[in-house]
Amino acid sequence: MITAQAWAGKHYAVYGLARSGQATVRALLASGARVTAWDEKEEAREALSQEFRWSRAQSRGADGAVDERPSTSLGTSGLDVADFTQADLTPFDALVVSPGVPLNTHPLAARAREAGIEIIGDIELFARARPELPPHKVVGITGTNGKSTTTALVHHILKTAGVPTTMGGNIGLPILGQEPLSAGGVYVLELSSYQIDLTQSLDCDVAVLLNITPDHLDRYESFEAYAASKARLFEMQSSKHIAYFDASNATATAVGEALRRTRGNYRTVGFYRYDDLWSFDENAEISAEIRSRGKEWSCLKGPHNASNALAASNVAFDLGVSQERIDAGLETFRGLPHRSERVRDRDGVLFVNDSKATNAEAAAPALAAYPHIRWIVGGQAKTNDLGDTANHLDHVVHAYTIGEAGPLFARLLRERGVAVTESETLENAVKGAAADSQAGEVVLLSPACASFDQFKDFEARGDAFKALVGAL
């Protein structure tokens, strides 16, 4: 795990004990900090308590007595699992919260502000640990859509090129739970707006803003406030570091242009790039290479993935990876689960799991990627319109609506002349689409909705789709 003397001797309140919260507790204790931890879910509290009871049980002395301190492997500072949400917060040095905690509405956040206690997340703790880590670089990637694919692709290209690297943040293992990289390593972080809101000092060597479209507006007072949250990734950077933004996205361009006015000139290579020290004309060659060869990459289909590949390639180039090794990484990338994931080719019909598309803007690229689609759409709607998916309905042979928003999508699609079957459940939709489909068509689960009406999360929805397709 990552530890830091910067945390030693301080008292942290940790709220939220899912994976990142648990990793935060372990890292803080191992660094000599004191931690008071809490989660509203009893099972999460009990899991942490059991872990430390087990650790103390391994620390019995020669007389058989249990050492009530945490084991030395987890640090010698104390851990309390206690409800601090209604207590005086002033004894704490900081409140560390899960990104899932809504800072705009949660009473604990309001109380912390009133008490003058800083509210941070695990990414900020990582930022404060950086001076103690072996020399390294950090890549930060944000945007409404495409973050995970681009993060994984950068990580894959670097790994293929032999660069020590790991990825974390909003993807993979919690960053504090990972082993520090050796000298010359690169930490590649996917960062949601929620994580950026909890971060104050992450100075990324390379920062990428892929796009900004309406999403998560229940957490922000306006779309402009949401965009401003994303823009803070650039604002935390030193002036000599590198920033990219997607020039094809109007809001991202506005963010980038505002930054340009205060920090210098950008050069465009498909993405706009800021660099005070030097510029690479070779980036234009990378752009041309991606446009000419994109169809060869089975796991990077569609214009959205060409954009992701361009961003990842530029980042890798800036980190010293050769064009040849960038090509090798692009060719061997296998994609991510639930993101335009090719599940099965059955009698010439391709089944694609794009369950991660939880809004219309995320679903639109998958619709653009295939010419003849049987579209499974619906769930818990985030908006009352078709959004960007309306621009690709000529690719939809037939739609199969599911979930709470099924009737809404059925009406909207019929108004646009799309044939619709109101399937209600994913099982009915898969069976119906499979029975109706013909060779050369794609059965696409790209719901344009959240999953919580019928599934625990988008992963559970995607796994159910894959199981149903496998059983055909």
Q: Among this protein's residues, is 356 annotated catalytic?
A: no
Token pair, residue 343, equals 């599940």
**β-strands 271-274, 266-268: how paired?**
antiparallel
Check 10, 11, 136, 216 and give the catalytic one: 216
DSSP state of 262: H
Work out the angle at residue 143's Cα, subtended by the Cα atoms of residues 389 and 122, and round it to the nearest 5 degrees. 135
Name the helix (H) or strand (E) containing 410: helix 406-415
Task: Assign 90 to helix, strand or coil.
Answer: coil
Q: Identify the helix (H) or strand (E) that includes residue 273.
A: strand 271-274
d(CA 94, CA 82): 16
Name the active-site residue from 137, 145, 155, 170.
170
Q: Which of 137, 147, 241, 301 is catalytic?
A: 147
Element (H, E) at 217: none
Contacts 24+ apart (CB under 8 A), 47-54: 47/17, 47/22, 48/17, 48/22, 48/79, 48/81, 49/81, 52/79
What element of type H or E holds 309? helix 303-318
For residue 211, indicate whether it is catalytic: no
Q: Is 216 a catalytic residue?
A: yes
Residue 99's closest CA among 142, 137, 129? 142
**Catalytic positions, please?**
147, 170, 216
